[in-house]
Amino acid sequence: MTVSTTLRQELVALHAELVRYDLVAWTAGNVSARVPGEDLFAIKPSGVSYDDLTAESIVVCDLDGKLVEGDLSPSSDTAAHAYVYRAMPEVGGVVHTHSRYATAWAARGEAIPCVLTAMADEFGGEIPVGPFALIGNDDIGKGIVATLAGHRSPAVLMRNHGVFSIGADARSAVKAAVMCEDVARTVHLARAGGPLVPIAAEDIDALYDRYQNVYGQRRRSRS
Q: How far is the CB of 37 from its own copies (least distance, A)?
A: 27
Close Cβ partners of 180 (under 8 Å, ≥ 6 residues apart): 99, 102, 123, 127, 155, 163, 165
Q: Which of 89/134 has CB closer to its own copies?
A: 134
> Is residue 212 a contact point for its own copies (CB under 8 A)?
no
> Is residue 111 a contact point for its own copies (CB under 8 A)?
no
- Using CB under 8 A, which of 1, 146, 201, 206 touches its own copies? 206
CB 18 within 8 A of CB 31: yes
d(CA 123, CA 102) in angstroms, rounded, equals 14
* Interface with its own copies in residues 114-173 (CB under 8 A): 115-118, 132, 134-136, 159-162
Q: Which of 12/104 has CB closer to its own copies?
A: 104
- Using CB under 8 A, which of 66, 110, 146, 220 touches its own copies? 110
> Is residue 213 a contact point for its own copies (CB under 8 A)?
no
Beta carbons within 10 angstroms of residue 200's beta carbon: 8
d(CA 124, CA 190) in angstroms, rounded, equals 19
- Using CB under 8 A, which of 138, 168, 199, 212 touches its own copies? 199
Q: Considering only CA atoms, which of 214, 223, 164 is closest in space to residue 10?
A: 223
> Is residue 65 a contact point for its own copies (CB under 8 A)?
no
- Using CB under 8 A, which of 38, 66, 203, 220 touches its own copies? 203
Q: How far is the CB of 91 from its own copies (least distance, A)?
A: 20
> Is residue 186 a contact point for its own copies (CB under 8 A)?
yes
Q: Considering only CA atoms, which of 107, 102, 120, 125 is closest in space to residue 186?
A: 102
d(CA 21, CA 23) in angstroms, rounded, equals 6
Site residues (CB under 8 A) for its own copies?
21, 25-28, 45-49, 72-73, 76, 98, 100-101, 103-105, 107-110, 115-118, 132, 134-136, 159-162, 175, 178-179, 182, 185-197, 199, 203, 206-207, 210, 214-217, 221, 223
